[in-house]
Amino acid sequence: MAKITCGLGTSHIPLLGHIIDKGDSGDEKWAPIFDGYQFTKKWIREQKPDVVVLVYNDHATAFDMKVIPTFAIGCGEEYHPADEGYGARPVPTVKGAPKLAWHITESLIKQGFDMTIVNEMDVDHGLTVPLSMVFGEVEEWPCQVIPLAVNTVVYPAPTGDRCLALGKAIRAAVEQFPEDLNVQVWGTGGMSHQLLGERAGLINQEWDLAFLDDLKSDYEKLGAISQVEYIRESGTEGSEMVMWLIMRGALNHEVNEIHRHYHVPVSNTALGHLIYENVDKKGE
């Protein structure tokens, strides 16, 4: 049977992609950012996930103002890196996992999550930057990816509680899939940042670090945070953190935090990253 083994959270700041694509990620100047992913790059080579369910938000790329799905799941064979206005990132095409994705979709809808199904779309930095940060510069991505796009661009984003519940439903769906697959769920975006208005540049380190602390065991508490509170405390784009709650919801109640990295700033944004491994317990 398929199994969710690990969860990973990371910011998906576009500057990280620009640095990597220019070949500058080894530059000493950026070491405080990239050093925090060295552990991750080794770890992922040992873990060898078959499939990553990658939770991200589309930034006016595949979805414009015509259609704005709250939760959309990619069931396609492949996804091309998008031209976001300065040419597509020179990274490999993302291979989908259509059979598992359709299984998850059917299960989610039956569990009460009315997913939007996407068979063809380009993927922007929200999805490709996390892949680059974790796998580095590769000829091919070493796993299949199921994109799960969450609307965090137009208010309101889905609630934290709903995101936790979606994570739990994804886990239930994956565990019913008959093939032996090592599946990871990644939550991306955040942490605190605000890209508009006179308050632009807001960073709340205290808030971010408390979020990272609470995510391990007190995640139910995080589910109750309203979008208004996220905006007030961590900036208009800080509410992207609900996507990490989908990842958390997909894991066991008990997890080990095996890695954490936090750095301010990356352009306008606070960068956060952590890895959880499920603690196996009978009955869970």
Partner 1 sequence: MNNNNKPYSDIPGTTVFDGDMARIGFHLNQFCMSLMQESNRTAFKQNERAYLDKWPMTEAQKKAVIARDFSQLIALGGNIYYLVKISSSDGLSVAAAVSTMTNLSVDEYIDMMRRGGRSPEGNRYVVSNTSEEKQ
Q: Identify whether the C-beta of residue 150 lies closer than 8 Å to the C-beta of residue 158.
A: yes
Structure tokens at 125: 């930095």
Q: Of 1-9, 100-108, 131-139, 233-241, which part binds partner 1 (CB under 8 A)?
A: 233-241
Element (H, E) at 60: none
Q: What's the N-to-C CA distance of the chain in angstroms? A: 15
**263 φ, ψ (degrees, to nearest 5):** -150, 135
Q: How far is CA 137 from CA 8, 22, 89, in A?
A: 19, 11, 12
Q: How far is CA 4 from CA 134, 145, 186, in A?
A: 18, 14, 11
Residue 228 touches partner 1, criterion: CB under 8 A:
yes
Name the DSSP class of 104.
H
Judged by CB under 8 A, the residue of 267, 279, 280, 284 near partner 1 is 267
SS3 105: helix
The number of residues that bind partner 1 (CB under 8 A) is 42
Residue 32 touches partner 1, criterion: CB under 8 A:
no
Q: Looking at 18, 59, 103, 193, which residue is catalytic?
A: 193
Q: Of 21-29, 35-43, 260-268, 274-282, which part binds partner 1 (CB under 8 A)?
A: 260-268
Q: Tell which residue, 259, 51, 87, 90, has the closest CA to residue 173.
A: 51
Judged by CB under 8 A, the residue of 90, 110, 156, 175 near partner 1 is 156
Judged by CB under 8 A, the residue of 24, 64, 137, 179 near partner 1 is 64
Query: Phi/psi zone of residue 136: left (φ > 0), alpha (ψ -120 to 50 degrees), beta?
Result: left
x/- letters, 73..112, toward partner 1 (CB under 8 A): ----------xxxx--------------------------
- Active-site residue 263, yes or no? no
Judged by CB under 8 A, the residue of 146, 194, 240, 249 near partner 1 is 194
Instruction: State the minimum distance, in angstroms, from the CB of residue 19 to partner 1.
Output: 12
Query: Which one, 15 or 172, has the nearer CB to partner 1?
Result: 15
Judged by CB under 8 A, the residue of 203, 215, 271, 274 near partner 1 is 203
Q: Looking at 125, 261, 263, 273, which residue is catalytic?
A: 125
- Active-site residue 125, yes or no? yes
Instruction: State the minimum distance, in angstroms, from the CB of residue 13 to partner 1.
Output: 10
Element (H, E) at 68: none
Alpha-carbon gap, residue 4 to 52, rounded angstroms: 9
Instruction: State the minimum distance, in angstroms, from the CB of residue 104 to partner 1.
Output: 27
Query: Which one, 59 or 216, has the nearer CB to partner 1?
Result: 59
Alpha-carbon gap, residue 190 to 209, rounded angstroms: 12
Name the DSSP class of 35.
G
- What are the catalytic residues? 125, 193
Site residues for partner 1 per CB under 8 A: 14-15, 59-61, 64-66, 83-86, 153-156, 192, 194-205, 207, 226, 228, 231-234, 236, 264-265, 267-268, 270
